[in-house]
Amino acid sequence: MNADSKISTSNGSDNPLITEGQQAKINEIRRLLGPLPEKLSIYCSDASIARYLRARNWNVKKATKMIKETLRWRSEYKPEEIRWDDIASEAETGKIYRTNYADKHGRTVLVLRPGCQNSKSVKGQIRYLVYCMENAVMNLPRNQEEMVWLIDFKGCSLANFSVKATRETAHVLQEHYPERLGVAILYNPPKFFEPFWKVAKPFLEPKTADKVHFVYSDDPNTMKIMDSLFDSEQLESAFGGKNIADFEINNYAERMREDDKKMPLLWVRGNASEAPHQPSVATAASLDLAKLKLDSDASDEKDEKSSSCEDDAEENYPDNMAVKNSSSSIAATDVK
């Protein structure tokens, strides 16, 4: 295992201006999607569409299909409606939690402790993961799109790992939360994790896998990664910091219930922020799933062939390319 891999210099907040060609692709996807119900339109801001385009190397056809799949998933799974009391039993051991500090770039930090796994239900595990992702995204600052994962392997054994759960996790994160991961720190992974990583890595997109870094507390070279990302006074002692506070379920539950109260406000603010860009259906009725079916229908084929924005060859742009901080920038609540 290469412990000396270099950490990405991207911090997710340096948002260079997009080119006219890239903006044209964003506009083309918006045209292909057409009017959307208000609850879904907030996920189709310029910034959101740009993330899907970056995930698909700015290929309009592939990004449009990916967005449609996410809109279908959101309409059916309703991740924004999950509340703390729905998943509290999954959370009680602190296997995933949002810290009360950010990294040096202001990014939300999620701690994952696979050794604290308390459930054999993949469905329940994924539902809690989705809740944590929604909460983490909601708490991102205005100028951030990415988050940080700290994975603590203390107390881990092979029994804590499931290929099925890993596959489902990778699918949800990559397909429905693209370009959300800034960096994932695997802290003191045990030797037995190496073969598991070889099995799990193919489930990840290459760009995602490149954001995963192995850090060992007895290796000063890799610990430099922690120093570059975190204030040692805030970082938990479990990760080499000076903060001796530990996860406490009752305090955390109170925090999450307070956050749950904020979620409905996203719809009001989010819809308002999207008004200049995305025509919305007047009613909040459920999305017509047939309209967003993923298999290419005749109209999609016609639209894609006639698009002046889609090049014959896929264009590769820098992974940290983001939309300008103007009328097309991500709104405070448009962070999904």
Q: Tens of pLDDT along 226-269?
A: 999 999 999 999 999 999 999 999 999 999 999 999 988 875 54
- 13 pLDDT above the threshold of 60: no
Locus of tokens 């037995």: 192
Looking at per-residue pLDDT, the higher value among 197 and 255 belongs to 255
Q: State the pLDDT at residue 296.
A: 40
- 84 pLDDT above the threshold of 90: yes
Percentage of residues in the chain with pLDDT exceeding 70?
A: 74
Split at pLDDT 50, 70, 90, the class of 275 is very low
Q: State the pLDDT at residue 12.
A: 52
CA dihedral angle for residue 276, residue 74, residue 95, residue 12, rounded to 10 degrees: -30
pTM: 0.79
Split at pLDDT 50, 70, 90, the class of 308 is very low
Lowest mean pLDDT among 91-95, 188-192, 204-208, 292-296: 292-296
251 burial type by CB count under 10 A (0-12 exposed, 13-18 middle, 19+ buried): exposed
- Per-residue pLDDT tens for 26-65? 999 999 999 998 878 888 999 999 999 999 999 999 999 9
Q: State the pLDDT at residue 199.
A: 83
- Which residues are paired to 110 by β-bridges? 98, 149
Q: State the pLDDT at residue 266.
A: 72
The CA–CA distances, whole Å, from 183 to 85, 213, 255 equal: 29, 7, 24
User: What number is the average pLDDT over the span 305-334?
Assistant: 38
Lowest mean pLDDT among 136-140, 192-196, 257-261: 192-196
What the chain holds in terms of domains, given with CATH numbers, is 20-79+267-306 (no CATH), 80-263 (3.40.525.10)
Mean pLDDT of all residues belonging to the chain: 81
What b/e sequence results for 264-297 when a residue is b if at least 16 CB atoms lie within 10 Å of its CB, and e otherwise?
A: eebeeebbebbeebbebbeeeeebeeeebeeeee
Q: State the pLDDT at residue 72.
A: 96
